[in-house]
Amino acid sequence: MGFLDNLKEAMKRGAEAAENYRERELAKQEQNNPVKQHPEQPADPAAPFNFTAKTEEPVIVTDPKSGAQVKFNILSNGRAKLDDPSAYEGRDYKAVVRETVLGTVTAKLNDPSFLPDAHDPKTLILLSNRLTPIVTGELKNKGITAAFKMLNVTPDRG
């Protein structure tokens, strides 16, 4: 066992030497390249911004055909820009976007003429395509130009 004990000791010394070398190199790099602190600038309200809107709890919709309760999850994200930043001065415009997206989609899901059958797979597949222009139009009425990367309405499996 003498050979294995010597090998273990040599491995420990090698690991310690490698760690010491790594620490010396990191200290040398920090000394040569000090990190410059940039003061964080407030977000420009005129600049486009990313948004995400999703439901925490599923939206419950009554199916007009069967009368059964159906639960849907809403998930969307995209980019938006304020048409007139002064109109939203001091307000959380990202929250306005989220509330508008979720409110408009929920209202349309509860409209029997918009969603005649909540269990029809074809209707559910085309639902996002039908909702996108409605939601962007509603945001445009509030002075926000938006483009969706994704707007999904999926049945809740839980």
Gap between the Cα atoms of 80 and 51, Å rounded: 7
Gap between the Cα atoms of 141 and 16, Å rounded: 65
Q: In this predicted model, what pLDDT tens digit does every residue of 85-118 receive, in sequence order?
A: 888 888 888 899 999 999 999 999 988 888 888 8
What does the pLDDT read at residue 35?
A: 57
Helices (H), the chain: 2-32, 93-109, 121-141
Looking at per-residue confidence, does 123 or 99 come out higher?
99
What does the pLDDT read at residue 39?
A: 53
Burial class (CB in 10 A: 0-12, 13-18, 19+), 53: buried
Average pLDDT over residues 143-151: 92
Q: Cα 32 to the chain's mean position, in Å?
A: 38
User: Tokens 């010396």 label which residue?
Assistant: 24
CB 89 within 8 A of CB 42: no
CB 131 within 8 A of CB 49: no
Q: Is 80 exceeded by the pLDDT of residue 25?
A: yes
Average pLDDT over residues 21-42: 71
With 0.85 as the threshold, say if the pTM is over it.
no
